[in-house]
Amino acid sequence: MVTTGTHDPLDGLDPQSGLRRRFRAAPSGGSDTLVVVQSQARVVPPRFGLERLFATTRHACLFLDCPDSAWYLGCEAATDAAIDAALAVAAPSRIIHYGASKGAYGALSTALRRGDGTAYAFGPEFELGQPGTQSGLYRAPGQPGEPDLVRALAETRTPHPLTLVFGLHDPVDAAGFARLARVPLPPAVALLALRSPHASHDHLYTLNIIRKLIARFDRDLAGLCDERGLISQEGADTAGAFATAGHRLATGDPPDPDALAGDLVPALNPGHGLLLAECLLAAGRAAEAAGILREAITLTESAKGLAAQPKRWRKQFWRELIQALARAGDASGAGETAREALARFPDDADLAALADRVAGRDA
């Protein structure tokens, strides 16, 4: 029987690295797969990321998490010890390394280091701590000891498939995709560019794609996404231009919107529309920004599969539109848009507060 405690190799805490671990054996008659699930950021102990999702599967699971400031760096020895202990108990015929965002970085680096299993990495970063990134909320850029995962991917000789998923509505994900798309990669490495934000895992969960994938890990993820119209046709140049512009905006140096417009495709990518609108606002062109944002909202709500993008991401467009209209002097339009936004997202306190401020101006 597996017990829980700080000295248990299967469950507990590694005091040196801060890595937490929890092992769940496969149910009776379950699969012969061990899934190593590495948590995303902002998971509060004693919970683990995606634990409830995988509770519905028949796999043995090892859940891992580390301090967000570590981003799984410095946790390699503790990670390997936890996996080896789980392997000794589960005796699986295959291993799946799985994670999103911070967990994607952990899953990918673990799979590359160990070379012992398949990996699914949703939105990994390759330059930690940069402005505008998730890791940048917790780490400074350029800390020593960070591995070059792009080089490791190019040089890997693993026979196990490594699937990297990027949401090209996000400039950081677009940066990762553009960088890898320009590098010769071995056949085991597959890049999946989606019409999705950084939270692509949440997006695919809403569309029931994730449950189909993890049930037996025998479904083609690209095919499941293609059925929902989620495969992006953007190339590395377009993604790279978006990434560069997003980085400049995050550092407080927004690019000229007229020059930027020729590099982006806001009619196809609402993330491009959001970025272009933010640059127009920075240039004092609020009315033009409002027009771009209206088009982005229409695209998000009408294109196949895009309305299922996470609410927290879709709300950005409405907040920016309300503020753009107010700055353009269209108080009536801002108030009407605020009411429309609240009708769609009635439980959002920030939108409600914004609507009250706009109503105050209108009054």
Contact of 149 with 126, CB cutoff 8 Å: yes
- pLDDT for res 251: 97
Give the chain's count of helices (H) and strands (E).
Answer: 15, 8
CA distances for 347 relative to 311, 335, 343, angstroms: 11, 18, 9
Q: Are 38 and 163 found together in one domain?
A: yes
272 within domain boundaries: yes
User: Is the confidence at residue 317, as pLDDT, over 60?
Assistant: yes
Q: Are 72 and 175 found together in one domain?
A: yes
Q: Are 162 and 284 found together in one domain?
A: no
Please give the single-letter amino acid code of residue 357.
Answer: R
Pairing of strands 60-65, 20-24: antiparallel
Q: Are 24 and 158 found together in one domain?
A: yes
- pLDDT for res 170: 98
Q: Are 86 and 42 found together in one domain?
A: yes
Q: Are 189 and 45 found together in one domain?
A: yes
Sheet of strand 60-65: strand arrangement: 12-13, 20-24, 60-65, 33-38, 94-100, 118-122, 162-167, 189-194
Q: Pull the structure tokens for residue 193.
A: 């560019």
Q: How far apart are CA 62 and CA 64, in angstroms?
A: 7
CATH number at residue 266: 1.25.40.10
Q: Are 119 and 266 found together in one domain?
A: no
185 within domain boundaries: yes
Q: Are 120 and 198 found together in one domain?
A: yes
User: Is the confidence at residue 276, as pLDDT, over 70?
Assistant: yes
192-222 as b/e: b if 16+ CB within 10 A:
bbbbbbbbbbbbbbbbebbeebbeebeeebb
Please give the single-letter amino acid code of residue 299.
Answer: L
1 within domain boundaries: no
Question: With 0-12 CB in 10 A as exposed, 13-18 as middle and 19+ as buried, what is 273?
Answer: buried
- pLDDT for res 359: 77
- pLDDT for res 9: 72
* pTM, full prediction: 0.95
Sign (positive or negative) of CA dihedral 73, 146, 234, 314: positive
Q: Are 124 and 267 found together in one domain?
A: no
User: Is the confidence at residue 127, as pLDDT, over 50?
Assistant: yes
Contact of 334 with 358, CB cutoff 8 Å: yes
Contact of 180 with 153, CB cutoff 8 Å: yes
What's the domain count of the chain? 2
Q: Tell me whether the omega of the peptide bond preceding residue 46 falls within 30 degrees of 0, making it cis.
A: yes
137 within domain boundaries: yes
102 within domain boundaries: yes
234 within domain boundaries: no
- pLDDT for res 330: 96
- pLDDT for res 361: 58
189 within domain boundaries: yes
Q: How far apart are CA 172 and CA 275, in angstroms?
A: 12
Total number of residues shown for the chain? 363
pLDDT digit string, tens, across residues 161-203: 999 999 999 999 999 999 999 999 999 999 999 999 999 999 9
Half-sphere exposure (CA, 13 Å, Cβ side) for 97?
26
Which pLDDT band, with edges at 50, 70 and 90, does 3 fall under? very low
- The torsion of the CA quartet 257, 261, 267, 272, rounded to 10 degrees, works out to -60
249 within domain boundaries: no
- pLDDT for res 4: 37
Q: How far apart are CA 264 and CA 347, in angstroms?
A: 33
User: Is the confidence at residue 102, as pLDDT, over 70?
Assistant: yes
Q: Are 149 and 275 found together in one domain?
A: no
Which among 346, 204, 194, 322 has a CA at the least distance from the CA of 269?
194
How many percent of the chain have pLDDT more than 70?
97
Which pLDDT band, with edges at 50, 70 and 90, does 288 fall under? very high
Can you give the residue range of the structural domain that contains 63? 12-227
CATH number at residue 214: 3.40.50.1820
Q: Average pLDDT in the 21-32 region?
A: 96
Q: Are 154 and 54 found together in one domain?
A: yes
Pairing of strands 162-167, 118-122: parallel
Q: Are 203 and 67 found together in one domain?
A: yes
* H helical segments located in 228-330: 236-250, 257-261, 270-282, 286-302, 311-327
- pLDDT for res 357: 85
Q: Pull the structure tokens for residue 82.
A: 């936890």
Average pLDDT, the chain: 95
